[in-house]
Amino acid sequence: RMHNVVFERNVATNAETIVTISDYDELDVRNNLFVGKSQAVSPRIKIGKPGYDTKPNRNVRILGNTFLLAGSSSGVNSVIGMYN
């Protein structure tokens, strides 16, 4: 389990899933620039891990981020996916 983590002022480019959040207490994801792949259909930020038994997240804050995402030719081009 991770505690008191800050992911701030980063530039993440060309990733289908940019951040996966699982088993955190006190996590801030803030003031980042996320640039997504043009054909990606999965969420850019995943909260929880699909198909895995994980502990719940607590006090996760996603604030002041910028997402530059091109449209997808098929499926849903979402920003945040929540699992578990």
Task: Say what the pTM is.
Answer: 0.79
Evaluate if residue 10 carries a pLDDT over 80.
Answer: yes
Asked if pLDDT for residue 76 goes beyond 70, the answer is no
Mean pLDDT, residues 46-59: 81
- The answer to whether the Cα torsion of 40, 18, 28, 48 is positive or negative is positive
CB 83 within 8 Å of CB 56 = no
Sheet with 11-15: list strands edge to edge: 11-15, 33-36, 66-68
Quick one: pLDDT at residue 28?
96
pLDDT value at residue 15 = 76
Please check the confidence at residue 75 and state whether its pLDDT lies above 60. Answer: no
| pLDDT over 60 (residue 43) | yes
List the strands of the sheet with 19-21, edge to edge: 19-21, 45-47, 80-82
